[in-house]
Chain A
Amino acid sequence: MNKIYQQKHELWLHILFTSFAINDQTIKSKLYDFSQIAFRHMKWLGTDILENGDDYNYDRNMDLEKHSNVFESLNTLKSKIEDMQNLYPDTTFGERAKTDDSYILEYISQVLEDESNNKEITAFNMKREWPEAELDSTQTDALTLFLFEETYKEYELILVYAYMQARTKNHLHFNVFQDLIDESHFHLKSFGEMLAKLGILALPRELHEMTYVVKDLEKFVKDGIAEEEAAKEMCKQLSQDINEPKLSSFFDFINYQESYHIELMKKLL
Chain B
Amino acid sequence: MLENVKMPEGINKDVMEHLMYPKNYGKLDNPSCIGIATDDKTGEYVIFYTLLEDNMVKDIKFATNGCQDTVVVGSMYTDMIKGESTEFASKAIGLIAKKLGSNMSKKQEICAEMVLNGFVASMMNYENLQNGKEEEAHILKMQESCLVEEDNE
Selecting from A35-43, A136-144, A167-175, A180-188, the interface stretch reads: A136-144
Contact of A205 among B27, B36, B71, B150 (CB under 8 A): B71
Complex CA gap A156/B65 in Å reads 9
Selecting from A10-18, A105-113, A206-214, the interface stretch reads: A206-214
B25 contacts A210, CB within 8 Å? no
- Chain B contributes a number of interface residues (CB within 8 A of A) equal to 25
**B-facing residues in A116-151 (Cβ within 8 Å):** 126, 137-138, 141, 144-145, 148-149
**A-facing residues in B65-82 (Cβ within 8 Å):** 65, 67-68, 71
A138 contacts B22, CB within 8 Å? no
Contact A205-B25, Cβ < 8 Å, known A149-B68, A211-B65:
yes
A200 at the interface (CB under 8 A from B): yes
**B-facing residues in A201-238 (Cβ within 8 Å):** 202, 205-208, 210-211, 219-220, 223, 226-227, 230
Give the 4 A-B residue pairs with the shortest CB-CB distance, closest first.
Answer: A223-B43, A208-B63, A202-B20, A211-B65
B19 at the interface (CB under 8 A from A): yes
Closest to B36 in A: A210
Chain A interface residues (CB < 8 Å from chain B): 126, 137-138, 141, 144-145, 148-149, 152, 156, 200, 202, 205-208, 210-211, 219-220, 223, 226-227, 230
A223 contacts B42, CB within 8 Å? yes
Selecting from B3-11, B98-106, B119-127, the interface stretch reads: B3-11
| A227 proximity list for chain B (CB < 8 A) | 42
A205 contacts B22, CB within 8 Å? yes
Taking the closest CB of chain A, its distance from the CB of B74, in whole angstroms, is 10
| A206 proximity list for chain B (CB < 8 A) | 25-26, 63
Closest to A202 in B: B20
Contact of B9 among A138, A207, A208, A211 (CB under 8 A): A138
Most buried by A among B16, B42, B68: B68
Judged by DSSP, the binding face of A is: helix
| B47 proximity list for chain A (CB < 8 A) | 208, 210
Instruction: List 18 additional contacts besides A145-B68, A152-B68; criterion CB under 8 Å.
Output: A137-B10, A138-B9, A144-B11, A148-B20, A149-B67, A149-B68, A200-B16, A202-B20, A205-B63, A208-B47, A208-B63, A208-B64, A210-B47, A210-B63, A211-B65, A219-B43, A223-B42, A226-B43
Complex CA gap A233/B16 in Å reads 24
| A226 proximity list for chain B (CB < 8 A) | 42-43, 147
Chain B interface residues (CB < 8 Å from chain A): 8-11, 16, 19-22, 25-27, 36, 42-43, 45, 47, 63-65, 67-68, 71, 147, 150
Complex CA gap A149/B22 in Å reads 13
Taking the closest CB of chain A, its distance from the CB of B75, in whole angstroms, is 10
| A220 proximity list for chain B (CB < 8 A) | 43
Contact A141-B20, Cβ < 8 Å, known A205-B25, A206-B63:
no
| A210 proximity list for chain B (CB < 8 A) | 36, 45, 47, 63, 65
Complex CA gap A259/B45 in Å reads 25
Most buried by B among A200, A207, A223: A223
Complex CA gap A200/B42 in Å reads 29
Complex CA gap A211/B47 in Å reads 11
Complex CA gap A138/B9 in Å reads 7
Closest to A223 in B: B43
Complex CA gap A3/B65 in Å reads 24
| A156 proximity list for chain B (CB < 8 A) | 65
Complex CA gap A137/B6 in Å reads 13
Taking the closest CB of chain B, its distance from the CB of A75, in whole angstroms, is 23
Closest to A222 in B: B43
| B68 proximity list for chain A (CB < 8 A) | 145, 148-149, 152
Contact A141-B43, Cβ < 8 Å, known A206-B26, A206-B63, A210-B65:
no
Q: Can you list 5 residue pairs at the A/B interface with Cβ under 8 Å?
A: A144-B11, A145-B8, A200-B16, A205-B71, A211-B65
